[in-house]
Amino acid sequence: MCGIAGIVNLNGELVSEAHLEKMSAFMKERGPDNLGMWVNENVGFSHRRLSIIDLSVNGHQPMLDRENTIVITFNGEIYNFPELKIELQKNGVSFTTSSDTEVLLYGYKTWGIESLLSKIDGMFAFVLYDLIKKKVFLCRDRFGKKPLYYSFQNSQLYFSSDIRSITPFISNIEMDYEALDFYLTEISIPQPKTIWKNISQVYKSSFIELDLTTRKWNSKEYWRLESNPKLNLNFQEAEKLVEQKLTSAILKRTISDVPIGCFLSGGIDSGLIVALLAQNSKEKVKTFTVGFSEDDFNELPLAKKLAERYNTNHTEIIIKPDIENEIFDLVDYFGEPFADSSAIPTYYVCKEMRKHVTVALSGDGGDEMFGYNNYAYMEKVANFLLKNPSEIRRSTKTIISKVQNRFGVKVENLGALNDFCKDEKSGIALIRGMAFMPNEMSMLYNKDFTEKAPTFSMSEVKKIWSKYEKEGLTDKIFLASLDTRLLNDYLVKVDRASMKSSLEVRSPFLDKNLAELAFKLPNEYKINNGEAKYVLKTLAQKHVDQDIFNRKKQGFGIPVKHWLKHELKNLVNEHLSSDQIKKRGFFNPEYVSRILKEHNSNVVNHTHKIWSLLWLELWCKNFLKH
């Protein structure tokens, strides 16, 4: 895994190597093994390398073809590069390295950018310059696992894996208050936006083509998941296919010239990865589990039980974080406001794992492919809509259920289902409300700031929801969640938390072939009688825990509430004081004071609200110029 950056001067101005070096300085953790730069007049690329495949100098980047007509700077892993390499060799291409980067170079020369992107399977962000056609391509993987920021500024294009590399070159940088509004609800920034109006991200499953001759550019999507038509197969056939595709996804992610380990929680997703890998590996699997010393509950016992079953080389990590000092480093490294507190344990386990391995497999994506618990409720709503297509019929059934309950006949109250049907087109299902709900914003913002920060969150999720208007309700929540919680939150968390420790994390559940199968499965195989991830759980019965259906889902007990009242108490009092809130000018100091008072007196648990406000203020002090 690596860090990439570059400058393209459309005005013909020569690129400064000093500027490239300045951009690369922010990415030392992403690529501690080598710094490479390439400059050709008005185009310059840099690359910081974390050596994973072909550890020799032959794998260094930026990399050029033999004719010096194509140059690439690439961050990521292409899991099917051995097969593509054989295909290219049959077309007469010869290779000088064993790296996947060279396959990208000659894949582009042979097939063109769109065919190349359709063929490759992996996680990636790369920028390629065709010196003959005078075209630059900025490309990002299907799910958006690897970041790729860019900005057009005064006839100059800047791009980087790290947003901090770009901001020093923007003279009129301006905060995006719509992005801020979304952050305060969903604790992350909505892509392709960033916290800065002047900087964007290449969107997932997309590439940008920039023509240096005409100065025109356009963005194009190269892949989209399809949920219909559904596959015609019985459950046993579906289960077997899922096991085969997941096993294949795991094994292809073990291609590496450096040591590999696995995250292991007590959950289904990481448990299946460890179990299937252990059954298909000649070597002992290295597994790692993390817990906090303050936890009332942690997953160490469940993870240890599975590790013993498969005789893994298991490491338990008990975290005693120096959170009051390290939070400043994390705020800086993330580069944008980000208030998912599970980034803390993710960072600590990555930090510890890096002492033992360079690559790790994780269970990220299992929920998005096979269902969260709240997706089961959406399936219930979908069935209610199917049986009661007219609003009159739904309202009548709702009234009858209420009357029956009032007279002692215990039936399901259909009021909540009917209310959701009324709001079905609003996208409200995508709002997690992790910090502030949209209807709380009028209380949070101060009067002067309200005009700058319109209520953006609902319009954003409605736009995403409408992208999938032709889909059924259950498929819609699956697809739209890839554009929201997975893209904006979970993948950002894993990328930043792992790369700060120079650890590459690979996610078998976010495999192209597995994802395409998952979305074609009949929904009742994924959500069965209210049971989410049903097909994964039946697999887990065989490979993880026979009693998996009776196990209650347990979240990771991150002690943020404890920190806010103890280790971070002084930080909260200083940065969220009425004087500081007034000085910042965003929020109503009386409302923030009320939140703090209610939380400290245990009237209401406002942990997520306070955490999001604290992270934001620390970010503002670090990055805002005023």
Do 207 and 245 belong together in one domain?
A: no
Do 128 and 191 belong together in one domain?
A: yes
Which residues are registered as beta bridge partners of 40? 43
The residue with greater pLDDT, 535 or 557, is 535
Do 340 and 397 belong together in one domain?
A: no
Which residues are registered as beta bridge partners of 47? 4, 36
User: Is residue 417 scored above 60 in pLDDT?
Assistant: yes
Do 98 and 189 belong together in one domain?
A: yes
- pLDDT (average), residues 537-547: 92
pTM for this one?
A: 0.94
Which residues are registered as beta bridge partners of 207? 139, 220
User: Is residue 554 scored above 60 in pLDDT?
Assistant: no
d(CA 591, CA 302): 42
The residue type at 452: K
Q: How far is CA 412 from the centre of its chain?
A: 37
> Quick one: pLDDT at residue 553?
59
CA atoms within 13 A on the CB side of 153: 19
Neighbour-count burial for 268-292, b at 16+ CB within 10 Å, e otherwise: bbbbbbbbbbbeeeeeebbbbbbbb
d(CA 35, CA 4): 10
Q: What is the pLDDT of residues 322-339, one digit of tens each?
A: 888 899 999 999 999 999
Q: Which of 2, 139, 262, 350 is catalytic?
A: 2
User: Is residue 296 scored above 60 in pLDDT?
Assistant: no
Do 381 and 357 belong together in one domain?
A: no
DSSP 388-434: --SHHHHHHHHHHHHHHHHTT------HHHHHHHHTGGGTGGG---S
CB-based contacts of 87: which residues, under 8 Å, 6+ apart?
Answer: none
- Tally of domains in the chain: 4
Residue 169 inside a domain? The answer is yes
Domain membership of residue 349 as a residue range: 235-365+507-550
Report the chain's C-alpha Rg in angstroms.
Answer: 25
Residue 467, helix vs strand vs coil: helix
Do 213 and 262 belong together in one domain?
A: no
CATH number of the domain residue 274 falls in: 3.40.50.620
d(CA 49, CA 507): 20
Neighbour count for residue 462 (Cβ, 10 Å): 14
User: Is residue 153 scored above 60 in pLDDT?
Assistant: yes
Contacts of range 548-553, beta carbons closer than 8 Å, 24 or more positions apart: 548/268, 553/267, 553/373
- pLDDT (average), residues 439-448: 88
DSSP 296-318: SS-SHHHHHHHHHHTT-EEEEEE
Do 109 and 40 belong together in one domain?
A: yes
Q: What is the pLDDT of residues 340-363, one digit of tens each?
A: 998 988 898 899 899 999 999 999
What pLDDT band is residue 577 in, cutting at 50, 70 and 90? very high
Neighbour count for residue 606 (Cβ, 10 Å): 22
Residue 351 inside a domain? The answer is yes
The residue type at 87: E
> Quick one: pLDDT at residue 272?
96
Q: What is the pLDDT of residues 217-260, one digit of tens each?
A: 999 999 999 999 999 999 999 999 999 999 999 999 998 777 89
Place of tokens 């004719």: 67
Do 23 and 158 belong together in one domain?
A: yes
The residue type at 177: Y
Length of the chain in terms of residues written: 626
Residue 490 inside a domain? The answer is no
d(CA 570, CA 412): 48
- pLDDT (average), residues 563-584: 92
Domain boundary pick from 195, 221, 247: 221
Place of tokens 């998952």: 518
Do 380 and 517 belong together in one domain?
A: no
Residue 46 inside a domain? The answer is yes
CB-based contacts of 174: which residues, under 8 Å, 6+ apart?
Answer: 196, 197, 198
From residue 276, give the alpha-carbon distance in Å to each of 118, 505, 540.
Answer: 28, 18, 10
Residue 229 inside a domain? The answer is no
Domain boundary pick from 526, 550, 574: 550
If you average pLDDT over every residue of the chain, what do you get?
A: 90
Do 348 and 463 belong together in one domain?
A: no
Which residues are registered as beta bridge partners of 210? 136, 217
Do 217 and 239 belong together in one domain?
A: no
> Quick one: pLDDT at residue 375?
86
* Residue 202 contacts residue 148 (beta carbons within 8 Å): yes
Active site (annotated) includes residue 2: yes
Per-residue tokens: 62: 């930026």
d(CA 453, CA 444): 11
Domain boundary pick from 196, 221, 246: 221
Residue 499 inside a domain? The answer is no
Q: Which of 565, 564, 562, 592 is nearest to 577 (CA)?
A: 592
Phi and psi at 489, nearest 5°, equal -115, -70
- pLDDT (average), residues 484-500: 96
d(CA 543, CA 541): 6
∠ at Cα 535 (533, 541), nearest 5°? 100
* Residue 101 contacts residue 45 (beta carbons within 8 Å): no
Residue 445 inside a domain? The answer is no
Do 596 and 616 belong together in one domain?
A: yes
Residue 502 inside a domain? The answer is no
* Residue 23 contacts residue 5 (beta carbons within 8 Å): yes
* Residue 48 contacts residue 31 (beta carbons within 8 Å): yes
